[in-house]
A and B are shown apart, each in its own frame.
Chain A
Amino acid sequence: MGSNTSYTRRRVQKILFRLGFLLPALLIYTFILLIPIVDSMRLSFYTGSGLIPNTFIGLGNYIKIFTQDVFRERVWGAFTNNIKFFLIVTLLQNVLGFFLAMAVTRPIKGASFMRKISFIPTTLSVLVVGFLFRQILNPIWGILGNFPWLGNEFTALPTLAVAVSWQFIGESILLYTVGIDGIPIELLEAARIDGANWFQEMRHIILPAIMPIVGIVTLLIYVGDFTQFDIVYAMTTTSGNPRFKTDLFGSLFYRTAFSTPARGGWGMGMGAAVSTIMFAVVAFGVGIWFFVFQRKRDA
């Protein structure tokens, strides 16, 4: 009997100890990160003029977004811009990032210096990079001529994509470098002894080894780009000038939820609907990544 109660007491103590250690992280993570995302989805079914939408309207906000031209045009515009933006950034960061990673993993002078330097732009704030490029594109410096890169409908979005790639290519280089470093030297040497040329080596050894990294780099770009806001704010303002041609989901969400109606605000309920659509887009991408890259790895 006595040993039983002391057993129970020790058990309770153990549970309390575990709970006490887990609780701070669990509470903050759940209440500040997870619940607000779910709660934002809930608010997308409400409408109201104040800060907290309080009239339930079911799918009303979504119906407005998908059927009324004023709303549909903006959401569709941000979606298509975001896809173009994502494709440009993905292409630049994966292709150039991989090629530069090949360069810095060569046993040549300056390679380790370059590894270190290449990450510096990634450490900067997106906002700073955006402002910096906006200034440099100013004709005063004249580096890229007098052309209005950010004022032209066709060049504005690619210019933003290049600025973002300039910043985050360091991350791609870093991840690809780790992947290439991880390929066993014996494998490459064996291939060379067998007379493999550069292309064969690339196709049969290097590319298969770094495929999972292509997946991770693309996933990081996807999630970052479909919530990107800072670059638009800094380079072409929250209305995505010129004429919404650089409007992305992030800037659309900011305007709809947090701006006054005169500056593109649609009310909190509609804003919540926009962020829920963004969540669906992000979840779709993560799902595809999981299906293509993670499942294969487990198999």
Chain B
Amino acid sequence: MKRKKHRTLSTYVYYLAMLAYLVVIAYPLYLMVVTSLKPNAEIFKNPLGPPQSFYLGNFITLISRANFNLYFLNSLIVVFVSLFCIIIFSSLAAFILAKHGFKGSTFLYSFFVAGLIIPIRLGTISILKMMIGFGLHDTLASVILVSIATGIPFGIFILTDFIRMVPDDLMHAARIDGYSEPKIFLRIIIPLLLPAIASVAVVNFIPIWNDFWFPLILLKSQSVRTVPLATALLFGQFSTNYGHVFAMLTMASVPVVITYLIFSRWFIKGLTEGGLKG
């Protein structure tokens, strides 16, 4: 009898905690979205309530006057080119590490996976030096290269693990049928790898979209700004125009939140494997 009561009590405590936490998470995000949908005068009159009308003026100004559509496009280019390369390069290397082991391949695997914990920021000075040397400074290519290098350790980590689970018999059978190794990779491994590739893509999408440090260091011209860089630079300019500021923060957040909500299954799978086995 006593036990039962105690269980219910702890359940209530947990419920209360979840509710409090929900408010703590949701309230700042609510304010962000709600404020972005109000004209400035309304923000001062009614800072906390829902918007009186669905005002899109802040967003329209960002796109028409601040070129936000261009920054969006730049960010999308960086994200998609980087993800494409991370997936191709990581799965190629993972295929060798998982199925064509050689002397030193376990070391090579650890060598790659060590990158999960190495903060690439600490090499920024040399990266800047190198990008200037290659003439890639102030181009999206510089940010793309850095994003690929940052994403490869996670890609190899997840994909090697996954390819190891592909039965060797399947590959032997393919070889007997006359498949070459590249063909095995393309026709057998890649199709089986798709869920893992989805995890790698979603988990990498978020930090690449959000990266602010490398664009800040490597990009100068307005035409190559990414969304976080533009957000930072326009923040000062708009600092008194709260509607614009909040619309900008909302626009920078919507792509990642939507991607996460749609792909959360793959996302959580990838992240927990990455975090817990490492």
Contacts and interface: CB of A to CB of B under 8 A. Distances in A.
B167 interface: no
A282 interface: yes
Given A24-B85, A40-B125, 6 more contacts: A21-B95, A24-B93, A38-B123, A52-B129, A127-B212, A128-B228
A296 to B, nearest CB: 16
Category for how many chain A residues contact B: 35 or more
Contact of A25 (B6, B112, B118, B272): B112
Interface string B2-33: 01001000110011011001101111110110
A33 B95 contact: no
Contact of A257 (B10, B85, B125): B125
A223 B119 contact: yes
A124 B256 CA distance: 7
A268 to B, nearest CB: 6
A266 interface: no
Contact of B117 (A14, A119, A234, A286): A286
B219 interface: no
B199 interface: no
Interface of B: 3, 6, 10-11, 14-15, 17-18, 21-22, 24-29, 31-32, 43-44, 47-48, 85, 88-90, 92-93, 95-97, 100, 102, 108, 112, 115, 117-130, 132, 145-146, 148-150, 152-153, 155-156, 181-182, 185, 206, 209-210, 212-213, 217, 228, 231-232, 235, 242, 245-246, 249, 252-253, 256-257, 259-261, 264, 268, 271-272, 275-276, 278
Interface in A168-189: 171, 174-175, 178-179
B145 to A, nearest CB: 5
A21 B160 CA distance: 13
A158 B40 CA distance: 31
A265 to B, nearest CB: 12
Contacts of B28: 132-133, 136, 166
A106 B14 contact: yes
Interface string A216-236: 100110010001011001100
Contact of B245 (A104, A135, A179): A135
A85 to B, nearest CB: 16
Given A127-B232, A174-B272, A106 B181 contact: no
B82 to A, nearest CB: 11
A246 interface: no
Contacts of A212: 276
A133 B32 CA distance: 10
A43 B25 contact: no
B256 to A, nearest CB: 5
16 contacts: A22-B92, A32-B145, A37-B122, A51-B128, A103-B15, A104-B18, A120-B29, A123-B260, A125-B210, A125-B212, A125-B252, A174-B268, A174-B271, A250-B121, A271-B125, A276-B122
Nearest to A99: B17
A245 to B, nearest CB: 21
A199 to B, nearest CB: 11
Contacts of A142: 47
Contact of B126 (A43, A111, A229, A282): A43
Interface string A9-46: 00000100110011011101101111111111001000
A114 interface: yes
Contacts of B213: 229-230
Given A24-B89, A51-B132, A271-B125, A29 B231 contact: no
A70 interface: no
A299 interface: no
B275 A229 contact: no
Contacts of A197: 6
Interface in A120-142: 120-121, 123-128, 131-133, 135-136, 140-142
A1 interface: no
Chain A interface mostly: helix
A108 interface: yes
Contact of A29 (B115, B121, B124, B181): B115
A93 B102 CA distance: 42
Interface string A95-118: 000011011101010110010111
B129 A100 contact: no
A229 B124 contact: no
A175 B146 contact: no
A65 B206 CA distance: 36
B264 A119 contact: yes
Contacts of A100: 17-18, 21
Contacts of A278: 122
A125 B6 contact: no
B108 to A, nearest CB: 7
Given A18-B102, A40-B126, A128-B249, A29 B112 contact: yes
| B3, B14, B100, B123 — most chain A CB neighbours (10 Å) | B123
Contact of A21 (B48, B96, B112): B96
B47 A131 contact: no
Contacts of A257: 124-125
